[in-house]
A and B are shown apart, each in its own frame.
Chain A
């Protein structure tokens, strides 16, 4: 490992990127010998080099309206060069994607990601369809994109346009899946995961170059009809196909496949056995730029030997491959970002498929102004779906989005699940992706704060009330106007009378920020009072709808619940007087027997 790092430093420090890249290319085989993995290089060179800004047109960015390179293309290009030469670059794509930048976002992931189980949601719900299913999905990259929704409306619309087109056009989706399959194949071969060509570097590199060509062809041809952001793939493919490096690449692959044509006649005897061969003609593929005379090929070998290379046909091919790769590598380095983007869209489409298989539906919500009526039809909690429980969809209607909703109802009535569903829907909508509802309206917000779980920590300085108060303080520290606030059981850690006071203070203060707030509480009397007094204009009240036998229906209606049905919950969980007494008597009897 020390040798590996030394090599990386020698290659990288104090030299210009182009020169270091040239060195890295030449050093590929040696790197392989001493076990350098390209990801090491990528990790070290990023801070050393000033990444060169690449014109946005060079990167087929599928996530942002204003395309840009989110992956350090220079570092990736160097890492690719090493991996291409050595065949050892485990984790190159994954690490590059994990470090990928995202576009401008006003969301702070620490304020919601943990409580929403975003990583679990992505890992379990973003399911790839068939192709590339065996490839490792860069969950970290998808989560990173998801928790940083773009702050510009154009990017949201850009993504919605891509998804809408993919849903509408099955051929485009198939092209995207084929592109993904090719990219994962390229990734596997480049990172050495497939072990192909382990003993023949030229063969492996030619296979990689063939994959590069296929990927570019797929981009150029498969997305030609696209009207949305997918058209960037076609534009990228066309641009590369029209370039000299692509033509040289295609020629080299043809040269590898067909240096000459041999017209061979085989004589077969009456017994069916081959009696002889006759070569009628040999025609060299003279049109190919790489085809040379046998004498020139021999002189090439001598020349390479004199220049310090090996003597052999393989070395000639190695030099040609190197020259072709160095020409095309600038167009290949965006593959990392492209793979991440394609993976996101296919993951989202997989989420849609997953929901539909469960009889649920997802949609691209209608984006409306905060004052517009709120309508969500068949909203479901995807986390329940991810864990194998079929969620019960619900429908919500409100006169506007920018209200403070107090949600009341019995325990285990679905309040917390509703909060998760609403927060995830907001997050997905802000990211330009499908929301877990048949139809929905969403008003975009500048920030999202979710506080659902208050775990006791070993190092916490305050008691439960203290922690609650700190939570409130932090909320107001980070909350911009118009944000979405999701709070579960605010002020439940103290006596109701004092808790209600703080609760009311929080609600009054929140009103000044005009948020989209949803807060659950068991202070039923307090909520009822607020409903009666109507002193806070933005307040709305939502309650869990119970069935005829007071069982939860997981539906919600306007108003304040009259009971938390704690007794029902206690009975359901075996905490009635009779049940507890029976347990006590049983324990006493066991104790006597033991003595």
Chain B
């Protein structure tokens, strides 16, 4: 039995004794294992440890490969989507913001192109908010974030069966419920916020950040952000041809405030072609919830005002009603 401890220079007897010394062949009194069994146990333990390390390294490599693949796929996907955007789409948000800031300024009077009604069927972005929220680009994004599809939009795109409170209330309730039913009523309209949220993901820098992700956790955060951003909706929003914007002017001081916060005030609405900046429609009307029944006003005053405002706008578009007297400049 050879051992590394012996050398050829050693006498044979010494080699034999060294071999005997390193050989553990008997269970020693008081010891649970003999030296040989201890050695075997150690080899097994070392083999297990090496196996575990090897398995760990292989798993890490596999994970790394998978991670690299996922990261590249995600970055490529972002780059592909960004590449698919047209220049109009890229500029759509900037145009929208310019329009919004302009519209939030001094009111330039009503406009009603004949094809304004037809514009409502085009792919559109919608935003509504207090007029003060649109005076600077910094304020627009928060305003867009808090703006949802509402009764005004619902009634504008899909007018109620009549102008009675009962008929409008049905549309208002559908708008308040939101979700698929409201989207079904306004399929061509997306929120300005969808574009606001999505556009940064199409910037080259974002794809570069994703490509530089080092850990699974980091990549998971990017994936979560992208999923949360609903990029498909963003792309569709950026592809909008028209911008539908409603701005609530500050209500006069005093007066009655409904339980949902609605007060009599003026509302501006514009339908603008994003590419050209041309106003297809522009109107300014007064809304007043006092005309609604007590029961409806307590809960639906804002929605009913919005719906009636939309009805008024559509009427103005179709010429059935003359420009509202409430639309005082």
Interface positions of A (Cβ within 8 A of B): 3, 6-7, 10-11, 19, 22-23, 26-27, 30, 34, 244-245, 247-248, 287-292, 296, 299-300, 303-309, 316, 319-320, 322-324, 326-327
Contacts and interface: CB of A to CB of B under 8 A. Distances in A.
A304 B29 contact: no
A220 B31 CA distance: 42
Interface of A (DSSP majority class): helix
Nearest to A6: B29
23 contacts: A7-B30, A23-B26, A26-B24, A30-B30, A244-B11, A244-B14, A245-B14, A247-B11, A248-B14, A288-B9, A289-B9, A303-B22, A306-B42, A306-B43, A307-B23, A308-B39, A308-B41, A308-B42, A319-B22, A322-B17, A323-B17, A326-B20, A327-B14
A288 B9 CA distance: 8
Contact of A23 (B14, B23, B28): B28
Contacts of A19: 26
A26 B35 contact: yes
Contacts of B86: none
A289 B7 contact: yes
Contact of B28 (A26, A291, A305, A322): A26
Given A244-B11, A244-B13, A304-B22, A319 B29 contact: no
Contacts, number: 103
Contacts of A11: 29
Contact of A327 (B17, B35, B42, B46): B17
B39 to A, nearest CB: 4
Ordered nearest first, which 8 A-B pairs have the shortest CB separation? A308-B38, A10-B29, A308-B35, A323-B17, A308-B39, A289-B9, A300-B4, A307-B39
Contacts of B41: 308
A161 B13 CA distance: 39
A11 B31 CA distance: 12
Contacts of A22: 20, 26
B283 to A, nearest CB: 89
Given A244-B13, A304-B22, A309-B22, A27 B29 contact: yes
Nearest to A292: B7
B11 A248 contact: yes
Given A303-B22, A307-B23, A308-B42, A7 B5 contact: no
A215 B37 CA distance: 39
B226 interface: no
B7 A307 contact: no
Contacts of A23: 26, 28-29
| Contact-residue size bin, chain B (C-beta under 8 Å from the other chain) | 20 to 34
A299 B4 contact: yes
B35 A309 contact: yes
A296 B3 CA distance: 10
Contacts of A316: 5
Contacts of A292: 4, 7
A323 B39 contact: no
A308 B36 contact: yes
B4 A307 contact: no
B211 interface: no
Among B29, B33, B43, residue most surrounded by chain A Cβ atoms (within 10 Å): B29
B10 A289 contact: yes
Contacts of B33: 308
A308 B21 CA distance: 12
A85 to B, nearest CB: 12
B37 A308 contact: yes
A296 B4 contact: yes
B18 interface: yes
A322 B21 contact: yes
B35 A307 contact: yes
Contacts of B29: 6-7, 10-11, 23, 27
Given A296-B4, A307-B22, A308-B36, 15 more contacts: A23-B29, A34-B30, A245-B13, A245-B14, A248-B14, A289-B10, A303-B4, A305-B42, A308-B34, A322-B17, A323-B18, A323-B20, A324-B14, A324-B17, A326-B20
Contacts of B39: 306-308
Contacts of A30: 28, 30-31
Contacts of B17: 322-324, 326-327
Nearest to B15: A323
Interface in B25-83: 26, 28-31, 33-39, 41-43, 46
A307 B34 CA distance: 10
Among A247, A300, A308, residue most surrounded by chain B Cβ atoms (within 10 Å): A308
A307 B23 CA distance: 7
A380 B33 CA distance: 67
A247 B3 CA distance: 21
Among B7, B21, B30, B39, residue most surrounded by chain A Cβ atoms (within 10 Å): B21
